[in-house]
Amino acid sequence: MGKKIIVDVQNDQTRVALLEDDELVELYMEGEDSQGIVGNIYRGKVENVLPGMQAAFVDIGLDKNAFLYVGDITTDKTEFEFSEEQDTGENDAKMLSIRDIISRGQELTVQVLKEPIGTKGARVTTQITLPGRYLVLMPTVNYVGVSRRIEEDDERKRLKEIAERIKPQHMGVIVRTAAQGKDQEDFIQDMDFLCRLWAKIQAKEWRGKVPRVLHEDKDIIYKTIRDFYDPDIEKIIINDKEEYERTLEFAGVLFPGLEKKMVLFDKPEGVFQYYGIESKIEKAIQKKVWLKNGGY
């Protein structure tokens, strides 16, 4: 079965289509103004520590300083050896004064939990999470969990045992809902990718000015490739040179060898028009959609 990922980059919108045997099976759209910063990882500097609020303000390079609550701070990760049923360590952090954990001027690696709203800056945490297709790596805590949407006890137990076997020592992992029914081999590639990504982020921590961004939870192109790429994908076709070059940078980190399948579309007509996607979209959004068997 021939599969292709087609990316159409316009001035204010990006569209990503997944084709199987030239049939449109998935379509995603993202506007320029809908890209947020949740999931981004920054190297920041503590500007103020407020013991009364058990919180601190961290300069991460945005217009407003980010808000870091004491419960969102990971201290010594050896304190967080816990099972799925146990507490995640937040209660332990609450018992400490924030002055005992961080100080003004200290550099921290933080991840955005909530977008800035109005006069409030972003909410951040030092408890980093890196999502993959089937797994979420938590490099700062030692924990194994399974998505609550997987309800069958035997399946939860099986997935947890696999996760415990393949997770790095002293790191945590959560098994995502998409992992249901998958085997250990399916998770190993995901885990390798996440470990390479974390190593790349760590290598950036001590280089460059502070504040600065270490990792962006990429846009729709990154997420689509991360969640839908498999060896059956023959080509990833992008119609914008800048986006093509940016995608090349992370393609090899996501899946080694993937960059060889990437193609820059440089024909005069639109890429969606060339691959017949525009007409398929038009048919799909009609009130009456015809089926192959003659029904609708």
- 129-157 pLDDT tens trace: 999 889 999 999 898 999 999 999 999 99
| 225-250 core/surface letters (b: 16 or more CB in 10 A; e: else) | bbebbeeebeebbbbbeebbebbeeb
From the centroid of its chain, how far is CA 106?
Answer: 27
- Give the sign of the dihedral formed by CA 101, CA 210, CA 221, CA 219: positive
Q: Are 65 and 47 in contact (CB under 8 A)?
A: yes
SS3 69: strand
Residue 211 shares a structural domain with residue 92? yes
Domain count across the chain: 2
CATH code of the domain containing 29: 3.30.420.60
Confidence (pLDDT) at 79: 32
Confidence (pLDDT) at 173: 95
CATH code of the domain containing 69: 2.40.50.140
Q: Are 16 and 4 in contact (CB under 8 A)?
A: no
Residue 47 shares a structural domain with residue 31? no
Residue 194 shares a structural domain with residue 262? no
Among 174, 192, 215, give the residue marking a domain's end: 215
- The answer on pLDDT for 124 being more than 90 is yes
Within a domain: residue 128?
A: yes
- The answer on pLDDT for 212 being more than 90 is yes
Residue 169 shares a structural domain with residue 94? yes
Residue 134 shares a structural domain with residue 180? yes
Among 177, 197, 215, give the residue marking a domain's end: 215
| 22-44 core/surface letters (b: 16 or more CB in 10 A; e: else) | eebeeebebeeeeeebebbbbbb
Within a domain: residue 185?
A: yes
Within a domain: residue 291?
A: no
Domain carrying residue 31? 3-35+219-284
- Greatest Cα pair distance, the chain, in angstroms, is 71
Within a domain: residue 289?
A: no
Within a domain: residue 292?
A: no
Residue 144 shares a structural domain with residue 110? yes
Confidence (pLDDT) at 239: 95
Confidence (pLDDT) at 83: 39
Q: Are 114 and 67 in contact (CB under 8 A)?
A: no
pTM over 0.75: no
Among 192, 215, 238, give the residue marking a domain's end: 215
Residue 167 shares a structural domain with residue 179? yes
Q: Give the mean pLDDT of 157-168.
A: 94
Q: Give the mean pLDDT of 162-169.
A: 94
Residue 69 shares a structural domain with residue 151? yes
Confidence (pLDDT) at 105: 94
Within a domain: residue 290?
A: no
Condensed to tens digits (0 to 9), the pLDDT of residues 229-243 reads 777 889 999 999 988
Which structure tokens are listed for 28?
């995603």
Residue 55 shares a structural domain with residue 201? yes
Tokens 């440089």 belong to residue: 266
Within a domain: residue 294?
A: no
Residue 205 shares a structural domain with residue 238? no
